[in-house]
Structure 1
Amino acid sequence: MKILKWIGYALLTILLLATAFYIKAYVSTENRLSKKYNYTLQPFEVKTDSAIVAEGHRILKTKGCKSCHGEDLAGKVWLDDAMLGRIVTPNLTKGKGGLPKDYSTHDWLRSLKHGLKRDSTPLRIMPSHEISHLGEEDMNALIAYLSQLQPVDHELPETSLGVLAYVLTDLDQILLIPADSIDHSRPLTKGVSREVSVKFGEYLSANCSGCHRKNMKGGPPLAPGFPVVADISSTGNPGKWSEEQFINTLKTGTTPEGKKLKAEEMPWIAFKNYNETEMKALYLFLKSM
């Protein structure tokens, strides 16, 4: 009986400690989500001719925006999990349930460059840390395309975080608040040189770093239930591929070894929208790592 009593005490202690940690994680995460950031929106005017809008659409596809926001960009329930919660991507059009009618160029810049809402609090999940690096011309093109989207009526439920989301955020195991990873003082880069070079490949690799880390060597799963992230640097399997094999993998989703890449794990469907120069530059950069 004494053993059972001590087991009971131990279980109660564990429960109290777990509850205390969850309360701490909840309060810490909610404080971060309500934080107002200090930043200055740089002067920015968008050019909107048809060629720029078309390029913006291509850039949007390379960023994989449709995989999260839907083909019509009207948003969707992206994740509904008992422990992680319900993650809803917003309607990016100005239809019912979408953005306000007066959503402006600077609102887009605040969201894409800084990962922030109009009230200067952070967006959730939105990978602005990967988009923030865009050069001035690319950011112009992306905003030009987004600004002319046709309204789609699509009302969605609110995002609600689960217990595990709060815990993993507090432990820095998931990137719930990308605004924390952005240098808000850095201006948009001017005159990105589009050439087959390591430097241009590094510029493009921001699309990869969110999963494969900045050193491109991958690591543990990004969240429970997700796969281990592969090493795509020169020391990983892609380091053995020729340039032609690398490009073919991005275009087809099939590796030289015959493995079919799952689009939900490796978004090759987005990356196949890179042009030849971009693919070659990215290959050079990854080989240099």
Structure 2
Amino acid sequence: MGIGLGCLVLILIVAYAVIYFKTESRINKTYTINVQKIAVTQSAEALTQGEHLVQIKGCRECHGEDLGGKIFIDDPQLGRLVGANLTQGRGGIMREYTKADLTRALKHGVRKDGKSALLMPSDEYNSLSVEDMGALMSYIKSLRPVDRELPENEIRPLLRVLTFLNKFPLLPAERIDHTKQSVQTVKSEISANYGQYVATGCVGCHRPNYKGGEPLAPGFPPVPNITKSGNLGKWTEDQFIHTLRTGITPEGKKMDPKDMPWTMTKEFTDNEIKSVYLFLKSLPEES
């Protein structure tokens, strides 16, 4: 029995060593990006749209209310993940980031050093129009400096295993088509096409087919199906809007904003929220 247990321990050590070095290789991979030129202005229109995008994209969930950065995951098994200080204050990345660096980080999920950002939803930002990306960058560059120095990220064993198995979206640069060019503008109108543009922010949790599935990580709840073959199929447009703006479903369930970020979706404009409803209702039912 002692020999068998020793062999098992040895196998586990070797397996984790393989996982460690494989994930380290992926984490330290460098990307060379041909960055698309994005205009940055300080016009009132751009700053207003940029602030709106910060609200509906959930930037403050990871980077703090003042966008001065915060630790957003600190778990003994998963590790510590830190949202960077996005200002020009002490500890802020904008003290060093150029416009091209910021474009690379937002659109491609690649840091200034060429390595992938960690758990940054750049695969969602990658589809932003040039106009919207420029507005988002303009707003970030206008932020009041926040002096806040933060600790480094720390990847612990469970997170490495989940990353190795592709069960946790740690490395956004791996999932992005870095040759894709953004369209100049996307018209804000009530349509399923515009809804698809807005609903890219739902893909990270609800999957590319919007049908949800298994939990995003251990301890998380299963992700619901938000196509018409799920509960959405029973909801009217008014009920959908009420749910996304109050966090209360037609069935009377109060949604936890940690699981469903309705505190973000409540900031959708009428055009955005109605278009998302049209898009989700247009998706094919499960066969």
Give the shorter-chain TM-score range.
over 0.9
Q: Which of 198, 218, 227 pairs up with 2:212?
A: 218
Q: 1:100 to 1:65 in 2, by over 3 A?
A: closer
Question: SS of 1:234's equivalent?
Answer: coil
Deviations 1:162-191 (CA, angstroms, capped at 9, x unpaired): 001111100001011011111100011223
> Are residues 1:253 and 2:247 paired?
yes
Kindly state the Cα deviation for residue 94 of structure 1 after the two structures are TM-superposed. 1.2
Distance 2:94 2:61 in 1: 23
CA positional deviation for 1:107: 1.4
- Residues 201-235 of structure 1: per-residue CA shift (max 9 Å, x gap): 11111110100001111000001111100111111
Q: Is the 8 A contact 1:78 1:87 kept in 2?
A: yes
Structure-1 residue corresponding to 2:261: 267
Deviation at residue 77 of structure 1 after TM alignment: 1.3
Which residue of structure 2 lines up, in the alignment, with residue 228 of structure 1? 222
Q: Which residue of 1 aligns with 2:106?
A: 112
| Equivalent in the alignment of 1:27 | 21
TM-align CA RMSD: 1.1
Runs of 4+ aligned structure 1 residues displaced above 3 Å come to none
Other-structure match for 1:165: 159
User: How far apart, in 2, do the equivalents of 1:74 and 1:123 lie?
Assistant: 17
Kindly, what percent of the aligned residue pairs are identical? 45
Select which of 42, 50, 68 maps to 1:74.
68
Note if 1:86 corresponds to 2:80: yes
* 5+ residue gaps, structure 2: none
* 5+ residue gaps, structure 1: none
Residue 187 of structure 1, aligned match among 181, 190, 205? 181
Rg comparison, structure with higher value = 1
TM-score w.r.t. the length of structure 1 is 0.95
Q: Summarize the Cα distance change of 1:128–1:70 in structure 2 as closer, same or farther, 3 Å threshold.
A: same
Shift of residue 272, structure 1, vs aligned partner: 1.1
| Contact persistence 1:123–1:179 (CA under 8 A) | yes
1:258 alignment partner AA = G
Q: Which residue of 2 aligns with 1:281?
A: 275
Amino acid of the structure 1 residue aligned with 2:68: A
Give the conservation status (yes or no) of the 8 Å contact 1:92–1:98.
yes
Q: Tell me the distance in 2 between the aligned counterparts of 1:139 and 1:153.
A: 25
How much has 1:9 moved relative to structure 2?
3.1
Secondary structure of 2:93 counterpart: coil
**Number of the residue aligned with 2:8:** 14
SS at match of 1:91: coil
Instruction: Kindly state the Cα deviation for residue 100 of structure 1 after the two structures are TM-superposed.
Output: 4.6
| SS in structure 2 at match of 1:97 | coil
Partner of 1:243: 237
- Aligned residue type for 2:204: G
What amino acid is aligned across from residue 176 of structure 1 in structure 2?
A: L
Q: Is the 1:105–1:147 Cα contact (8 Å) retained in structure 2?
A: no
